[in-house]
């Protein structure tokens, strides 16, 4: 990079007249204070470590440490803006209690051991019980991290016991996309936010959770654009503050609202007949119960299913005034409006999450609000690489890379060929999904608890799992169960671990994320990890190599070669298990390029690594052009943009489950939630996140500015409920459910405002674990639990 | 007034802008890439200055005092400042009542926000003390944030100094450099509004 300061001086000199030149020379061109402005800072790009928005930051490094961060103006996602987490992402590396050495529990205490010992311990656990060894990972895994774990479990141990925390956050979005389009992930992208006339947030609080995206819309408004924001929710939030219209609904009744809109579209004849006739088919669950792909039904059957959902009936169920249902149907019935829907945890953490996701897609498809800029459904992810890693690599108990599943023989064969495995290596039986995995881990072996070891990476299940006593704490004291945790800070999960591995984080390692709009984003290592912390990718490869050396058959391909053979730039085998040499070649690039061909089958073609290096991420499918350049796709399935759309079609659902270019419009009824308030537990309890703290707070809690702003959990109570119970803001109260209780301060008229009859508690606080209270009931299709509603009571402590 | 002195920096700025866009990694703002064009803000800085100088006691102290106090409520130079007061969480929009155009009362100064109108203020600026939470214990953190640069450089005596920092989406220079700005950082010619006409960016650190 040019030293701009000297350049400015130079330019000044050349431009100056002779006389001025003389003056300049006289003044010796020195700065006023003989001071060199901030030299020695090296800037490089990286995506933000936190949420699924996927903002890009520029990282300033000086003397081997991150010293500053700024929003990357070259990034289309955030155009220079960040949120408070992004601005402070540099600080998360430097909390004083970083884990810096492997720790093994001996006589009840965690004591330092060497990496060699740690690797041996893990290899022994695998050897002793390969079928009971599971990996529990994360939507914060980088793509190469998820990929090596996927290969380790599906190809190496062949027990399929790998599942991520994304199961707790994105699973219903996935099944919603699969059920509707036959393939996962959004068709549209964030550009919608710049184009839409109406923005509807469904149980979603982007002002706090995806602030940069919300500001993209608010910014348009303050520049004079007309955008109507409709917030449909169960709690007033900061998003509501900026909305034109807030629609409050009874928890769980969003199903009825979506059906009510569809009902009116049909009844008023305002549905998009042409779009539906050309591009859609109808679907319902079979009589046997909820199903991912369901059965075909006719339009008449679909219509019949919607008949009960008159505005009046919907009002009865949801508490939403009938005229608001009519208003929503009018918006969707207007073909001249561009409508973008946003949703995240409200719709996903839902015991009918799959149903609700498919119903929202149905409303968009039925009304033809799809496939044009500004017009379509856009699902948001909470984690930075829930899409890129979990969903694209398929680090789920039932999935294989590139949208494949273990149940299907051709999918297994394809993966076996690409991994050069002997035929039949990949197990056809899905492994345990998250809740089941932890249940089987916590259940004593004698009672059939057949998971004996879980290796947790990049996540904090001791805080984020629901119903913690049952799913996490019950492991305590069981001698034959073993918990391995790779992390960067001590957490409630490491507190219970038998082996703790210190990991590198963010720009201490190479990495690749994939954000909510199909954008794959790469960064390079920029500083060293502290102490003996090492990359997660390395940790897995080192264990695999140890197993290979011990002659563990699963770690060999069909020619007897090591499963994780990495080649260097010259094509020579590279000892990626040797930490001292690990960065002599770009292991991330090698693994990513090995993975990339997996994405071609479902036309999810991710960009080559070298193209990612040059950009602030590219949205797949990324296809090479005749001139050799690579072009990203903003609108999937849309003829004007997606290269895979059949010639001449405006819309082409080419991954259609029914193989006829059609997406499925689902008919799914409202069903009551599994737990509702009772006289004993009269209030709804919702849990969630807050702007400053990220998820379980293990990183953000180490940042002083953030901690000062949001130090501890509280319970938001509606004023009327509080008055009745004599509770004032700041009073300590005890919130209880059937599963547990929690004492914390009440906040009335606080940041959010739950309607009468409901409460809200954030889950970031590791001293006040709200997940001791939450329900572990889950969506029958996605297996995602519901953290958003259960029955609770509150009383002064 | 020496016309030469005005003329030369004008050329400098033009040259820097032109060349930088092709030869350095981070291109400078163009009219369209800036979140808010100068035009949109032309009224704001001036108004801010007018409005706030009405009941105004001039900030006291040296340049270094000001830089130090600035660093007290931000993590590094370039980070968004933290709120220096508690806020009522009722309304995210009330910030603009004082910080929209700037406001002073006695010695208290609510500086005008230096960037385009972004409504979701608490997205970046958060409380450090609130009515809700009491004493907060923090974990020691060894993050050592970048310090502000010293002053800009001058091509020659009497030339306008270069801007030692980047714009970082800020467009209202008078927020800090106007009459309600920071002691030691104030301009003596707030009436000239197009600051970047004469003060070009000088450092590779903050090329926006
Ligand atoms: S919006 Fe998300 S990705 Fe962007 S800066 Fe904030 S936390 Fe990071």
**Nearest C-alpha neighbor of B162 from the set A60, A28, A25, A32:** A32
Please report, for chain B, the start and end positions of each structural domain, with discontinuous segments joined by +: 28-130+168-197
Q: What is the pTM of this model?
A: 0.88
Is A382 part of the annotated catalytic residue set? yes
Instruction: List the domain range (segments joined by +) for residue A364.
Output: 171-380
What CATH code is carried by the domain that includes residue A259? 3.40.228.10
- Window 117-156 of B: residues touching A by CB (8 A cutoff) are 117-120, 122-130, 132-133, 136-147, 149-156
At residue A133, the 3 state secondary structure works out as strand
Q: Which residue has the higher pLDDT, A302 or A34?
A: A302
| pLDDT of A654 | 97
| pLDDT of A692 | 93
Mean pLDDT of A679-684: 98
| pLDDT of B86 | 82
Mean pLDDT of A397-421: 97
Distance A560 CA to ligand 1 centre (A): 45
pLDDT tens, residue by residue, A708-722: 999 999 999 999 999
Q: Are residues A289 and A345 in the same domain?
A: yes
Q: Are residues A160 and A177 in the same domain?
A: no
Q: What is the ipTM of this complex?
A: 0.86
Which of A332, A357, A380 is the last residue in one of the domains?
A380
Q: Which string of b and e fits A197-213 if b means at least 16 CB within 10 Å?
A: bbbbbbbbbbbbbbbbb
Q: A76 in a domain, yes or no? A: yes
Q: Are residues A750 and A706 in the same domain?
A: yes
pLDDT band at residue A65 using 50, 70 and 90 as cut-offs: very high
| pLDDT of A38 | 57
**Is A32 at the interface with chain B, CB within 8 A?**
yes
For tokens 């660093």, the residue is B71
pLDDT band at residue A347 using 50, 70 and 90 as cut-offs: very high
What CATH code is carried by the domain that includes residue A18? 2.20.25.90
Please tell me the distance in Å from B76's CA to the nearest CA on chain A. 6
From the CA of A212, give the closest atom in ligand 1.
1
Q: Are residues A207 and A282 in the same domain?
A: yes
Q: Are residues A147 and A197 in the same domain?
A: no
Instruction: Kindly tell me if the per-residue pLDDT of A630 is higher than 80.
Output: yes
Among chain A residues, CA nearest to B123:
A83
| DSSP class per residue in chain B | --HHHHHHHHHHHHHHHHHHHHHSSSPPP-TTTSSS-HHHHSHHHHHHHHHHHTT-----S-HHHHHHHHHHTSSSTTSPPPPSS---TT-GGGHHHHHTT-EEETTEEEPPPSBS--S-GGGT---SS-SS--------B---PPPPP---B-SSTTSPPPBSS--TTB--THHHHSTTS-TTT--S-TT---GGGT--B--STT--
Q: A718 in a domain, yes or no? A: yes
Q: A155 in a domain, yes or no? A: yes
Q: pLDDT > 90: what percent of chain B?
A: 12
Q: Are residues A33 and A6 in the same domain?
A: yes
Backbone φ and ψ for A384, nearest 5 degrees, come out as -65, -25
pLDDT band at residue B51 using 50, 70 and 90 as cut-offs: very low
Instruction: Kindly tell me if the per-residue pLDDT of A532 is higher than 50.
Output: yes
Which of A318, A352, A380 is the last residue in one of the domains?
A380
- Which of these ranges, A19-33, A396-410, A483-497, A781-795, has the smallest mean pLDDT? A19-33
Q: Are residues A8 and A26 in the same domain?
A: yes
**Is B85 at the interface with chain A, CB within 8 A?**
no
Q: Which residue has the higher pLDDT, B49 or A724?
A: A724
Is A440 part of the annotated catalytic residue set? no
For tokens 């400078």, the residue is B28
Q: A661 in a domain, yes or no? A: no
Backbone φ and ψ for A135, nearest 5 degrees, come out as -115, 130
Q: A577 in a domain, yes or no? A: yes
User: Does the C-beta of A55 come closer than 6 Å to ligand 1?
Assistant: yes
Structural domains in chain A (count): 4
Q: A526 in a domain, yes or no? A: no
Q: How far apart are the C-alpha atoms of A564 and A148, rounded to whole Å?
A: 8
Instruction: Kindly tell me if the per-residue pLDDT of B56 is higher than 60.
Output: no
pLDDT band at residue B202 using 50, 70 and 90 as cut-offs: low
Q: Are residues A56 and A79 in the same domain?
A: yes
Q: Are residues A145 and A197 in the same domain?
A: no
Whether B75 sits inside 8 A of A91 (CB atoms) is: yes
Instruction: Kindly tell me if the per-residue pLDDT of A317 is higher than 90.
Output: yes
SS (HEC) of A412-461: HHHHHHHCCCCCCCCCCCCCCCHHHHHHHHHCCHHHCCCCCEEEEECCCH
Q: Are residues A292 and A329 in the same domain?
A: yes
Q: Which two tokens stand for residue A82?
A: 């960040």
pLDDT band at residue B2 using 50, 70 and 90 as cut-offs: very low
Is A387 part of the annotated catalytic residue set? no
> In this structure, are residues A339 and A348 in contact, taking their beta carbons and an 8 Å threshold?
no
Q: A782 in a domain, yes or no? A: no
Instruction: Kindly tell me if the per-residue pLDDT of A279 is higher than 60.
Output: yes
Mean pLDDT of A274-300: 97
Which of A48, A75, A93 is the last residue in one of the domains?
A93
What are the strands, taking DSSP E only, across A107-203? 109-112, 133-137, 162-164, 198-202
């Amino acid at each position: 990079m040019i030293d701009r300061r000297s350049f400015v001086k130079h330019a000044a000199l050349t431009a100056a007249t002779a006389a001025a030149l003389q003056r300049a020379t006289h003044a010796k061109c020195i700065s006023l204070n003989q001071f060199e402005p901030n030299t020695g800072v090296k800037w490089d790009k990286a995506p933000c470590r936190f949420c699924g928005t996927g903002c890009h930051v520029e990282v300033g490094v000086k003397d081997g440490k991150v010293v500053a961060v700024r929003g990357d103006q070259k990034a289309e996602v955030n155009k220079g803006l960040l949120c408070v987490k992004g601005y402070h992402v540099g600080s998360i590396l430097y909390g004083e209690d970083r884990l810096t050495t492997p720790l093994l529990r001996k006589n009840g205490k965690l004591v330092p051991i060497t990496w060699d010992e740690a690797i041996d311990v893990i290899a022994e656990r695998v050897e002793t019980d390969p079928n009971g060894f599971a990996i529990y990972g994360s939507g914060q895994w980088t793509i190469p991290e998820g990929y090596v774990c996927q290969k380790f479990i599906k190809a190496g141990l062949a027990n399929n016991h790998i599942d991520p925390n994304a199961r707790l956050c994105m699973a219903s979005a996935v099944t919603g996309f699969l059920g509707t389009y036959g393939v996962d992930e959004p068709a549209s992208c964030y550009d919608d936010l710049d184009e839409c006339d109406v923005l509807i947030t469904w149980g979603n609080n982007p002002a706090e959770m995806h602030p940069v995206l919300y500001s993209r819309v608010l910014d348009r408004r303050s520049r004079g654009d007309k955008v109507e924001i409709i917030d449909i929710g169960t709690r007033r939030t900061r998003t509501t503050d900026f909305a034109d219209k807030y629609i409050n609904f009874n928890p769980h009744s969003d199903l009825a609202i979506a059906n009510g809109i569809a009902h009116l579209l049909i009844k008023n004849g305002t549905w998009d007949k042409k779009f539906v006739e050309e591009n859609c088919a109808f679907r319902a669950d079979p009589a046997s119960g909820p199903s991912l792909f369901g059965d075909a039904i006719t339009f008449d059957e679909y219509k019949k299913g919607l008949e009960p959902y008159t505005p009046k009936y919907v009002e009865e169920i949801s508490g939403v005034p009938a005229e608001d249902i009519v208003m929503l149907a009018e918006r969707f019935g207007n073909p001249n409006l561009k409508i973008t829907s946003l949703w995240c945890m409200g719709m996903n953490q839902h015991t009918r999450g799959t149903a609700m996701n498919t119903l929202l897609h149905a409303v968009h498809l039925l009304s033809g609000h799809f496939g044009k800029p500004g017009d379509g459904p856009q699902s948001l992810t909470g984690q930075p690489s829930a899409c890129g890693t979990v969903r694209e690599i398929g680090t789920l108990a039932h999935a294989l890379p590139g949208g494949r599943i273990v149940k299907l023989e051709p999918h297994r064969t394809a993966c076996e060929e690409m991994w050069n495995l002997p035929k039949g290596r990949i197990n056809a039986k899905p492994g345990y999904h998250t809740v089941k995995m932890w249940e089987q881990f916590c259940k004593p072996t004698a009672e059939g608890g057949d998971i004996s070891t879980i290796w947790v990476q990049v996540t904090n299940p001791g805080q984020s799992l629901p119903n913690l006593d049952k799913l996490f704490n019950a492991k305590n004291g069981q001698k034959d169960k073993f918990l391995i945790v790779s992390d960067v800070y001590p957490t409630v999960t490491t507190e219970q671990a038998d082996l703790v591995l210190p990991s590198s984080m963010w720009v201490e390692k190479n990495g690749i994320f994939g954000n909510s709009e199909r954008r794959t984003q790469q960064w390079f290592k920029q500083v060293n990890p502290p102490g003996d912390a090492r990359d997660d990718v390395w940790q897995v490869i080192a264990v695999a190599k140890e197993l290979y050396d011990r002659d563990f058959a699963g770690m060999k391909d069909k020619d007897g070669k090591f499963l994780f053979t990495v080649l260097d730039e010259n094509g020579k085998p590279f000892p990626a298990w040797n930490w001292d040499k690990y960065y002599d070649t770009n292991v991330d690039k090698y693994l990513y390029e090995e993975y990339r061909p997996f994405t071609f089958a479902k036309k999810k073609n991710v960009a080559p690594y070298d193209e990612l290096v040059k950009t602030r991420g590219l949205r797949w499918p990324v296809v090479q052009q005749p001139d050799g350049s690579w072009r990203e796709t903003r609108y999937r399935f849309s003829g004007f943009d997606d290269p895979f759309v059949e010639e001449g079609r405006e819309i082409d659902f080419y991954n259609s489950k029914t193989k006829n270019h059609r997406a499925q419009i689902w008919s799914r009824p409202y069903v009551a939630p599994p737990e509702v308030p009772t006289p004993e537990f009269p209030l709804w309890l919702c849990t969630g996140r807050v702007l400053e703290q990220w998820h379980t707070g293990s990183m953000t809690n180490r940042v002083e500015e953030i901690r000062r702003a949001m130090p501890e959990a509280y319970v938001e109570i509606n004023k009327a409920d509080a008055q009745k119970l004599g509770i004032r803001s700041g009073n300590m109260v005890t919130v209880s459910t059937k599963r547990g209780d929690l004492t914390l301060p009440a906040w009335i008229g606080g940041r959010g405002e739950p309607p009468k009859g409901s409460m809200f508690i954030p889950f970031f606080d590791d001293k006040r674990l709200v997940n001791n209270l939450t329900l572990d009931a889950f969506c029958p299709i996605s297996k995602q639990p519901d953290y958003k509603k259960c029955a609770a009571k509150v009383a002064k402590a | 007034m020496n016309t030469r002195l005005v003329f030369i920096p004008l050329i400098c700025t033009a040259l820097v802008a032109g060349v930088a866009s092709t030869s350095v990694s981070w291109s400078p703002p163009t009219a369209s890439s800036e979140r808010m064009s100068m035009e949109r803000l032309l009224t704001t800085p001036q108004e801010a200055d007018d409005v706030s100088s009405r009941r105004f006691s001039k900030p006291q102290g040296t340049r270094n005092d000001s830089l130090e106090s600035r660093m007290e409520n931000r993590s590094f130079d370039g980070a968004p400042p933290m709120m220096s007061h508690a806020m009522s969480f009722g309304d995210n929009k009330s910030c603009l009542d004082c910080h929209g155009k700037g406001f002073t009362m006695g010695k208290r100064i609510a500086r005008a926000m230096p960037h385009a109108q972004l409504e979701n203020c608490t997205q970046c600026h958060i409380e450090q003390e609130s009515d809700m939470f009491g004493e907060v214990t923090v974990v020691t953190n060894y993050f050592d944030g970048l310090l502000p640069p010293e002053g800009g450089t001058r091509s020659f005596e009497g030339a306008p100094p270069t801007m030692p920092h980047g714009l970082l989406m800020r467009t209202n220079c008078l927020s800090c450099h106007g009459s309600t700005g920071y002691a030691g950082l104030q301009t003596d010619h707030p009436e000239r509004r197009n600051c970047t006409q004469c003060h070009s960016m000088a450092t590779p650190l903050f090329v926006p």
